[in-house]
Amino acid sequence: MTGDDRADDGVTSETRAHVQPRRTRKAAADAPSTDAPAGAPEITEDDDEISAEVVEIHQGAVGRVEAGELTVTMGAIGAARAERIDIERGALGAALADEIEISQSVVSSVVAREVELGQVVARTVVAVEVTVEQPSLIGVLLAWKVDGDVRPIVDWRGALAFGGIVAVALALFGRGRRDA
């Protein structure tokens, strides 16, 4: 190959014929899709949002999901709102649902009527009924009924003690400021 066969960008003329121009996200979103079947969920790539009756995610990530039923396997969801959410080996930022079942996952905040956890690390769980089937680490747990072996970092007694300490500290420091 001679120097004349090389382009300025280092790609040979032989390889240039096989290089396809990359479509940007905007171009991909604007292009009409002929692959989608009728009744397929609408996905907006720029906002990373999915809204559909049934959503299944396998090894993927979505910013926000609104669905009747959401199933995630080895994936991540930023925020989810659904009637039922099942997550296995995934990550969840925030969820609002009627029923949630999470196993071997990391969760930030969950608000639901029924929550079932198995080997989960959760920051905040608020529910009417919580069932813990396998050892899990839960930061703050607020529930009417809890089943299983649960050892939250902060329970109602710890929250009450913490609130009392903060109230006393604010009263002491507040009094010191007024005297000065």
pLDDT in tens, 109-147: 999 999 999 999 999 999 999 999 988 889 888 899 999
Asked, for residue 52, whether it belongs to a domain, the answer is yes
Q: Sheet containing 76-88: which strands, arranged edge to edge?
A: 42-44, 49-58, 61-73, 76-88, 91-132, 137-147
Residue found by looking up tokens 């080997």 in the block: 119
Counting the structural domains of the chain, the total is 1
- What's the pLDDT tens digit per position in 57-98? 999 899 999 999 999 999 999 999 999 999 999 999 999 999
Which residues lie across from 125 on neighbouring strands?
A: 110, 141
Asked, for residue 15, whether it belongs to a domain, the answer is no
Would you say 70 and 84 are in contact if contact means Cβ atoms under 8 Å apart?
yes
How far is 80 from 67, CA to CA, in rounded Å?
Answer: 8
Asked, for residue 66, whether it belongs to a domain, the answer is yes
Q: Nearest-CA neighbor of 49 among 68, 33, 62? A: 62
Asked, for residue 116, whether it belongs to a domain, the answer is yes
Pairing of strands 49-58, 61-73: parallel
Asked, for residue 134, whether it belongs to a domain, the answer is yes
Asked, for residue 114, whether it belongs to a domain, the answer is yes
Quote the pTM value.
Answer: 0.63
Range of the domain at 53: 43-179
